[in-house]
């Protein structure tokens, strides 16, 4: 008799949705996942933890190689505005990037292969801190991961713009190189009635934001692609006090490492100009940097051909996107690929109202399990 996880995957997703946590603080999430993993037959499984992440090895019947499937597990600092009756119970945090869906799918994949082992070994990876500060690279470098280092790896990401039943990918670059951007400006505060005795950092920040928008338009090759976005500005404490400090927070996205170097060099030159022009001090922090998600050309083409033959989903060959994903570090070290999973919803990733279509969970489990079975039997 087969042993089932004691909840449906939809119910698992909904329970995970209620406990989003920051990167490397996914304590409730890890506990929840471990409880469900431990409810499965243990004979073929070896379970290990790494910080707040989990790695599960399912032993093959006649292993020649090790395959891996990776999911991410952290949430985002967003106040939820969905219509759900299972909203986040953690104020100020939400699973707004689909990691709750991703985890439910991974549990479904794990459950399938525990009950239906394949010839090869399979490692299911529950990776923390994808949204920041970045869990993929330190997990990749960890002893536990290296002990089970796979020969091939794959992952998926939900896509609001595609209908349920559709997946999308492409050989080569899928997601961009990304870097966080934090700029602090230090001047001299003072009374609003005496601006000549102060050094206003709100004005300096306003000039800098405008100048930053010239980088892509006038410094990056039009045949290349880059984005510089300032998403947050803070400065000052009251309307009649001149701000002595201002902070800009943003992101950089490029489709080539050369463009990333060029953009950062130009940012540094503009900031030096602000220091001179406004007689202030400035500091730049690039925060977390993620490598591009570059799909192995051969494996991705093979996967796409398989999907078309198998009919497990409708396949679209998509364009590259400026999305960032630290799965790129895994792909830099291990051949593999990522694909988009259609979850059709009018709200985009990282939106407070995003409500992915849960029917996509079944589609994803079907695609991933069938493909891994096929790959293992080649």
Q: How confident is the model at residue 3 (pLDDT cuts 50, 70, 90)?
A: very low
Would the pLDDT of 152 be above 90? yes
Mean pLDDT over each residue of the chain, to the nearest integer: 96
The CA dihedral of 314, 69, 122, 103, to the nearest 10 degrees, is -100
15's CB contacts (< 8 A; 6+ apart) are 7, 32, 86
Q: How confident is the model at residue 324 (pLDDT cuts 50, 70, 90)?
A: very high
Domains of the chain: 9-175+292-376 (3.40.630.10), 177-288 (3.30.70.360)
| Chain segment 77-100, per-residue pLDDT in tens | 999 999 999 999 999 999 999 999
Q: Which of 111, 120, 121, 131 is catalytic?
A: 131
Q: How confident is the model at residue 7 (pLDDT cuts 50, 70, 90)?
A: low
218's CB contacts (< 8 A; 6+ apart) are none
Would the pLDDT of 76 be above 50? yes
C-alpha 131/C-alpha 119 separation (Å) is: 34
Could you tell me which residue, 289 or 136, shows the higher pLDDT?
136
Q: Is the pTM of this model over 0.85?
A: yes
C-alpha 147/C-alpha 143 separation (Å) is: 6
What pLDDT shows up at residue 2? 38
CB contact at 8 A, 250 and 190:
no
- To the query of whether residue 72 is one of the catalytic residues in this protein, the response is yes
As a whole number, mean pLDDT of residues 1-29 equals: 85
Asked, as a colleague might, if the bond just before 133 is cis with ω within 30 of 0, I would say yes
**CA Rg, the chain, in Å?**
23
| Chain segment 332-349, per-residue pLDDT in tens | 999 999 999 999 999 999
Q: How confident is the model at residue 288 (pLDDT cuts 50, 70, 90)?
A: confident
Q: Which of 21, 26, 72, 184 is catalytic?
A: 72
């Amino acid at each position: 008799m087969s042993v089932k996880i004691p909840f449906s995957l939809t119910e698992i997703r909904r329970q995970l949705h209620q406990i989003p946590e920051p990167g490397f603080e996914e304590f409730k999430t890890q506990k929840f996942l471990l409880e469900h993993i431990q409810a499965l037959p243990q004979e073929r499984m070896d379970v290990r933890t790494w910080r707040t992440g989990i790695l599960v090895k399912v032993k093959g019947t006649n292993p020649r190689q090790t395959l891996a499937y990776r999911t991410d597990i952290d949430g985002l600092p967003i106040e939820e505005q969905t219509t759900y009756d299972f909203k986040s119970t953690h104020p100020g945090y939400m699973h707004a990037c689909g990691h709750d869906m991703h985890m439910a799918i991974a549990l479904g994949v794990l459950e399938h292969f525990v009950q239906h082992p394949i010839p090869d070994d399979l490692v299911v990876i529950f990776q923390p801190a994808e949204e920041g500060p970045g869990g993929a690279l330190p997990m990749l470098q960890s002893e536990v991961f290296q002990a089970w280092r796979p020969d091939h790896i794959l992952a998926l990401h939900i896509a609001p713009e595609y209908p349920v039943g559709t997946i999308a990918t492409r050989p080569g670059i899928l997601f961009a190189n990304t870097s966080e951007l934090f700029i602090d400006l230090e001047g001299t505060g003072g009374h609003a009635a005496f601006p000549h005795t102060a050094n206003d950092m709100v004005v300096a920040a306003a000039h800098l934001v405008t100048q930053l928008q010239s980088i892509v338009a006038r410094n990056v090759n039009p045949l290349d692609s880059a984005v510089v976005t300032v998403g947050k500005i803070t400065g000052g404490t009251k309307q009649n006090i001149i701000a002595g400090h201002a902070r800009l927070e943003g992101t950089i996205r490029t489709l080539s490492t050369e463009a990333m170097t060029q953009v950062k060099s130009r940012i540094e030159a503009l900031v030096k100009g602000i220091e001179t022009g406004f007689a202030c001090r400035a500091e730049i922090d690039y925060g977390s940097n993620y490598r591009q998600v570059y799909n192995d050309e051969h494996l991705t083409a093979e996967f796409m051909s398989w999907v078309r033959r198998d009919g497990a989903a409708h396949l679209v060959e998509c364009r590259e996107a400026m999305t960032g994903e630290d799965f790129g570090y895994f792909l830099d070290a291990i051949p593999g690929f990522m694909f988009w999973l259609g979850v059709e919803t009018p709200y985009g990733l990282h939106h407070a109202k995003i409500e992915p279509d849960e029917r996509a969970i079944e589609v994803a489990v079907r695609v991933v399990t069938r493909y891994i079975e096929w790959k293992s039997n080649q």
